[in-house]
Structure 1
Amino acid sequence: MASATISGRAGSPKSPRKKDKTHFLYIAVILAVVLGAALGLMAPEFAKGLKPIGTAFISLIKMMIAPIIFCTIVLGIGSIAKAATVGKVGGLALGYFIVMSTFALAIGLVVGNLIHPGEGLDLAAGAESAPKAAEDAEGLSGFVLSIIPTTLLASLTGESILQTLFVALLVGFALQKMGSAGTPILTFIGHLQKLVFRILVMVMWLAPVGAFGAIAAVVGETGIDAIKSMAVLMIAFYITCALFIAVVLGSVLKVCTGVNIFKLMRYLGREYLLIFSTSSSEVALPRLIAKMEHLGVSKPVVGVTVPTGYSFNLDGTAIYLTMSALFVASAMNMPLELGEQISLLVFMIIASKGAAGVTGAGLATLAGGLQSHRPDLVEGVGLIVGIDRFMSEARALTNFTGNAVATVLIGTWTKEIDKEQVTAVLNRERPFDEATMETEGHGEPQAPDAELEPAAVR
């Protein structure tokens, strides 16, 4: 893990922290949603004319899908290789992350199918001209052949996200086989990813304008029903995340370690406040490392599990992606068939690794999933733009909790945990010393190959 991330001690209460300008973006999006909804209710005909504004913003997001998927998948495969070299700890961590992320994605699909968020809005008008992926593929053979691009570079310039994913996987595994000879190429792709994410950040500053146009047009067309549907999605998402933490993560933690999830969450209370105020779990990364070590988990396990989890264990983001996809499909009166949902889930398992790191990457991943399976639904992502920020806190808190639970689990499975210390700490007999956050280098991963760059999970 990059030492600069830790040495900055973003989570330390005494360390100066550069003001996060995205707070202004957060406020602007909220104001834009409120104003757009109000305009849609008061002047529906005028509001409908603002639809191209939201469409233009979605086009900008679509423009970023292919490079984001390509860079993050290639670099993600490289990170998996690094974690695997750590041995038993890395292997267990990666296996657990894949299983839990898949389970979280499946839960999002189940809840979405139960509540049918967005049902009745019927926003399909104007989307009929977009080709359906199912219609383009002549059966299974046609679908498989459509994944193979005409040239290697064509996958980055065409509209097929599955082709981009396919080539990214080929490049990633090829670079693994090249060993040290592939390092310069990985470094170049890493720089390219920074450029792509920088452009995405610039695009996201237009989110208030895009959200205003999209929400105004939708409310102007459907009235109060749009507001109700978005509220249903947000409430359902928060409830699902809460149940996932308390029931799923809590049960796994209790059965495997005997630790009570609520005691662990109480121990991490200050970190939750920090995450809730910033909508990002990145700021709590150094504190999570320090607190997991204080809890009794060995430094090598913490040093591998936490940074790897920040990129690969995104339970909250997984639930968000599948629930949002079903919301868009229902709102446009084009529900996804069971087969499409399953294939979308498989796509999201891989592509969701690109949902960490930058504001807007989650939206790009959602758009990428819809583009790969049902291009006619991508336009509906404009609905999510307006409420994405309202769901960011739940995503970040769920992701953070999932990584804390994973660290205790991996420590238990590898027998690298002091159970007596765990009991004492969670019973408040040995409180965490905040002064240790000021110790230079505290929280540095100790595992020799755990050089995984953590990402801001939003």
Structure 2
Amino acid sequence: MAASADGPAGKPLWTHLYVQVIAAIALGAAIGHFWPATGEALKPLGDAFIKLVKMIIAPVIFLTVATGIAHMRDLGKAGGTAVKAFAYFITVSSFALVVGLIVANTVHPGWAMAAVDPATLDVSKVTGYATKAHDLTVVGFLMDVIPNSVVGAFAEGNILQVLFFAIPFGIALATIGEAGQPVLRVLDSAAQAFFKLVAIFMRAAPIGAFGAFAFTIGKYGIGSVASLAGLVATFYITSILFVLVVLGAIAALNGFSILKLVRYLKEELLLVLGTSSSEAALPSLLEKMERAGAAKPVVGLVVPTGYSFNLDGTNIYMTLAALFIAQAMRIDLSLEDQLLLLGVAMLSSKGAAGVTGAGFITLAATLQVVPTVPLAGMTLILGIDRFMSECRALTNFVGNAVASLVVARWEGQLDREKLRMALDGGPEPLARQPVEADAD
């Protein structure tokens, strides 16, 4: 009887984090549905957990990147890794935009709605997003990557600013040789402490998922999805197929299974689902990719950068949502209009890198440049954006996990045996993982 209740590691099933998160999501959904006011009141639980994780993201990224580069024998590899990572990001994320465009033209989700008159829509509801989108410029974005001070980068928790400082700092440590070893040893020890802190904070994940999901259902309700079920279903199915077919093919070509990778990341994926925030699982993803055999310098460069530039789910959403709005308003976009939409989306999706709520903001930026589709149409999907953001975050998360393993393989810095053991559920070979048997 006990055996049936135990997980694969011999521990009771209820002690596994992913089981606790599933139970928390289900309980949160029930409370949000039956007692909406109570569900909305639980919002601080989700917000507090996300703040808890965001608090340590900046130091975790800095320590991972700086120590990874400092340990490198060939510093030229760091530049090569960055070039290959960006080539991968641009290729795959641009293809995601095309996928969204193709699906929208094939399924026509917007035509399922009654024709919408743009004059009846309240544009004030999306004015804030439009203002943020208008403020996004290439020059402004590039200038914002440079922090006003080293302390400021950490204080604001800006991932790109922390990366901007961590990379040259790691290079500096590597080039001063023996003089930098004492500092490097301190940073290595600090990295171990922070990853232990991540493990401690993750125990609170069920509480965060419970509060966040209860709020989402209590605030927006299942009914808000029903009215636009066609778009939501189309987006979820497209994203799932993108992960299984496109990312699955990329994974297969690089010697690993996308299904095994998803299973390996199940705890993180459930956390992203429960909190609607991929950042909540970022520190854990860094550790798991290294545990799966990807070298620390590669993981440190690819994963944080990918969080800003490799947004597969967001890109599918952008073109799919834009065409949905056009179809709902019975606006017939020509091939030239759609190609313009695609080109603008390719630029705006990169220009809003690192911006909170990037999915909705980049959609606003795109529609402002393509006047054929009224910006007011965004109000049609504002009510369900919270539910779609979960799918965007999940797809982005899996995409960045795949990217880190692919780039590591290209660089010859992927330990195949570690990868096999991790994806097959074998023992964890990473030294920083605690070994309980040593306590005897």
Same fold per superposition (TM over 0.5): yes
1:118 CA displacement: 1.5
Residue by residue, what CA displacement relative to the aligned partner does 1:374-424 show, whole Å, maximum 9, x if unpaired? Answer: 265211111111111111221111100000000010000000111122112
* Distance in 2 between residues matched to 1:344 and 1:355, nearest whole Å: 18
Alignment of 1:77-226 (within 5 A): 86-119=78-111, 120-126=113-119, 168-170=137-139, 184=148
- SS in structure 1 opposite 2:256? coil
1:249 CA displacement: 0.3
Residues 1:434 and 1:280: Cα distance change in structure 2 (over 3 Å) = farther
* Distance in 1 between residues matched to 2:144 and 2:376, nearest whole Å: 35
Alignment of 1:220-239 (within 5 A): 230-239=228-237
CA contact (8 A) 2:133 2:362 kept: no
* Distance in 1 between residues matched to 2:408 and 2:157, nearest whole Å: 32
- SS in structure 2 opposite 1:346? helix
Residue by residue, what CA displacement relative to the aligned partner does 1:426-453 show, whole Å, maximum 9, x if unpaired? Answer: 2222247898389xxxxxxxxxxxxxxx
Residue by residue, what CA displacement relative to the aligned partner does 1:5-32 show, whole Å, maximum 9, x if unpaired? Answer: xxxxxxx97xxxxxxxxx99xx69x979
Residues 1:193 and 1:347: Cα distance change in structure 2 (over 3 Å) = farther
Residues 1:393 and 1:184: Cα distance change in structure 2 (over 3 Å) = closer
1:356 CA displacement: 4.6
Q: Which residue of 2 aligns with 1:241?
A: 239
Q: CA RMSD in A?
A: 4.4
1:344 CA displacement: 1.6
* Distance in 2 between residues matched to 1:161 and 1:275, nearest whole Å: 25
Q: 1:291 aligns with which of 288, 302, 310?
A: 288
Would you say how many aligned residue pairs link Structure 1 and Structure 2?
A: 311
Residue by residue, what CA displacement relative to the aligned partner does 1:141-196 show, whole Å, maximum 9, x if unpaired? Answer: xxxxxxxxxxxxxxxxx99978x66xx335667899xxxxx7659999999999xx
Identical-pair percentage = 40
Unaligned runs of 5+ in 2: 1-15, 18-27, 38-75, 124-129, 159-215, 436-440
* Distance in 2 between residues matched to 1:121 and 1:304, nearest whole Å: 47
Q: Which residue of 2 aligns with 1:323?
A: 320
Q: Which residue of 2 aligns with 1:42?
A: none
Q: 1:426 aligns with which of 414, 423, 426?
A: 423
Aligned: 1:365 with 2:358: no
Alignment of 1:254-333 (within 5 A): 254-255=252-253, 257-333=254-330
Specify the code of the residue in structure 2 equivalent to 1:169: V
TM-score, with structure 2 as normaliser: 0.60
TM-score, with structure 1 as normaliser: 0.57
Q: Which residue of 2 aligns with 1:76?
A: none
Specify the code of the residue in structure 2 equivalent to 1:246: L
* Distance in 2 between residues matched to 1:123 and 1:186, nearest whole Å: 50
* Distance in 2 between residues matched to 1:93 and 1:272, nearest whole Å: 23
- SS in structure 2 opposite 1:258? coil
CA contact (8 A) 2:133 2:364 kept: no
- Over 4 Å off, 4+ runs: 158-162, 170-176, 182-194, 432-435
1:362 CA displacement: 2.1
* Distance in 2 between residues matched to 1:193 and 1:334, nearest whole Å: 41
Residues 1:161 and 1:270: Cα distance change in structure 2 (over 3 Å) = closer
* Distance in 2 between residues matched to 1:191 and 1:336, nearest whole Å: 45
- SS in structure 2 opposite 1:300? helix
CA contact (8 A) 1:289 1:302 kept: yes
CA contact (8 A) 1:317 1:355 kept: no
Q: Which residue of 1 aligns with 2:393?
A: 396
Q: Which residue of 2 aligns with 1:405?
A: 402
CA contact (8 A) 1:291 1:432 kept: no
Q: Which residue of 1 aligns with 2:251?
A: 253
362-371 or 296-305, which deviates more: 362-371
Q: Which residue of 2 aligns with 1:344?
A: 341
Residue by residue, what CA displacement relative to the aligned partner does 1:345-373 show, whole Å, maximum 9, x if unpaired? Answer: 22222212326542x44222212211211
* Distance in 1 between residues matched to 2:355 and 2:238, nearest whole Å: 23
Residue by residue, what CA displacement relative to the aligned partner does 1:235-294 show, whole Å, maximum 9, x if unpaired? Answer: 011110110000000101111x21011111111111111111111111111111111111
CA contact (8 A) 1:108 1:323 kept: yes
1:211 CA displacement: 8.1
* Distance in 2 between residues matched to 1:345 and 1:289, nearest whole Å: 32
Specify the code of the residue in structure 1 equivalent to 2:116: L
- SS in structure 2 opposite 1:118? helix
Residue by residue, what CA displacement relative to the aligned partner does 1:28-76 show, whole Å, maximum 9, x if unpaired? Answer: 9x979xxxxxxxxxxxxxxxxxxxxxxxxxxxxxxxxxxxxxxxxxxxx
